[in-house]
Amino acid sequence: MRIAVIGAANIDIITKSKAKIIPGDSNPADIKLKAGGVARNIAAMLALHNAQVDLITAIGNDPFGNLLRESCSGIGINTDAWIVKINASTGVYLASLENDGELYAGFNATTAPETIRTAELTKHKEIIKEADLLVLDLNLSEKILAMAIELRDQRPVMVDAVSTAKVQRIEKLLDKVDILKLNRLEAEHLTGINLDTKERVKQASNNIVSRGVKRVFITLGMAGVCAADISTAIFVPAIPIVVKDVTGAGDAFSAGIALKFDKKIRAQAESGVKLAAEHLERST
């Protein structure tokens, strides 16, 4: 299976408090630095599960960019299509975690992928066209999203919504999306529906499908996931685990559904839940 992924690759700086965070105070914490970014995380998990992966992203001409490229190449991700930006910095994501691993606050500066130009993407059109599946994250501009989808010529396209701040970038292209993955907040932002009950989650799922998306997956944390298409909406429960931290769990879910993009919707959702649970258990 060959999968092309386009979006953000950045450096994650993760702080995990040793006790419950006290706002406004200096909190003792463990701090680590690692390769990250939605597209990079998805690509890494796909590669680790034996998919052939091409990652298209933009980085700065800086040490963080070099570190990212070495990290990706080392696990088998093809980085030949990376775009180096002279006047932009490699993206950085800062996550502040509670002592139980739950996200307290996250901050991102991932502007490099948003500066990708159409001419830069066109150079890699064969990678985009020939992949069995194209995965896009919404750290890209609307223009590049539309172009990447057009280059697919109606072949399967999956989109990861990334954040509430960026989910609107795909709104005008929903009828061209085969698979859309969102979390609860992103789905609320896209539909205007408060997802406080299962019925409202189904309502939001049906709203998105009615706008042209073939399959939608809404992750609900420990409540599992709602998966829907034109004929059904199902809930798949989360796997009970001890959570070490939540960073990248959504990306692991996306990788899981990408690996089973040609399977039935329940099998696809279960694959996402399984990979997310494995990631949550081994994160540190």
118 and 160 within one domain: no
Q: Which of 85, 80, 91, 34 is nearest to 53 (CA)?
A: 80
Q: Average pLDDT across each block of 10 residues of the chain; the chain has 284 residues. List them in order.
A: 96 93 95 93 96 97 93 96 92 90 84 93 97 97 98 96 96 98 98 98 98 98 96 95 77 98 98 94 65
**Domain end residue (candidates: 132, 164, 183):** 132
16 and 82 within one domain: yes
Crossing angle of helices 38-48 and 249-259, in 10° steps, is 50
CATH number of domain containing 280: 3.40.1190.20
Asked if residue 137 belongs to a domain, the reply is no
C-alpha pair distances (Å), 182 with each of 48, 204, 213: 23, 11, 12
162 and 128 within one domain: no
Within 10 angstroms of residue 184's Cβ, the number of other Cβ atoms is 18
**Sign of the alpha-carbon dihedral angle for 16, 17, 18, 19:** negative
Residue 275: CA count within 13 A, CB half-sphere: 26
Asked if residue 78 belongs to a domain, the reply is yes
Separation between Cα atoms, residue 123 and residue 4, nearest integer Å:
14
Please give the pLDDT value at position 160.
Answer: 98
**Domain end residue (candidates: 116, 132, 148):** 132
**Domain end residue (candidates: 69, 99, 132):** 132
C-alpha pair distances (Å), 91 with each of 8, 64, 151, 221: 8, 8, 26, 26
Please give the pLDDT value at position 60.
Answer: 93
Question: How many domains in the chain?
Answer: 2
211 and 248 within one domain: yes
Question: Tokens 């406004």 appear where?
Answer: 24
Please give the pLDDT value at position 111.
Answer: 81
- pTM (predicted TM-score): 0.90
Asked if residue 87 belongs to a domain, the reply is yes
Q: Residue 278 is part of which domain span?
A: 156-284
Name the amino acid, one letter, at 171: E
Please give the pLDDT value at position 218.
Answer: 98
* 3 state DSSP class of 23: coil
Please give the pLDDT value at position 93.
Answer: 87
Question: Tokens 């700065």 appear where?
Answer: 60
Structural contact between residues 102 and 246, judged by C-beta atoms closer than 8 angstroms: yes
Separation between Cα atoms, residue 19 and residue 31, nearest integer Å:
14
C-alpha pair distances (Å), 20 with each of 105, 147, 190: 13, 45, 32
Please give the pLDDT value at position 283.
Answer: 55
Asked if residue 148 belongs to a domain, the reply is no
Separation between Cα atoms, residue 37 and residue 27, nearest integer Å:
26
Asked if residue 25 belongs to a domain, the reply is yes
93 and 178 within one domain: no
Asked if residue 141 belongs to a domain, the reply is no
112 and 28 within one domain: yes
Asked if residue 223 belongs to a domain, the reply is yes
Please give the pLDDT value at position 106.
Answer: 85
Asked if residue 110 belongs to a domain, the reply is yes
176 and 128 within one domain: no
C-alpha pair distances (Å), 220 with each of 73, 118, 135, 188: 33, 35, 21, 12
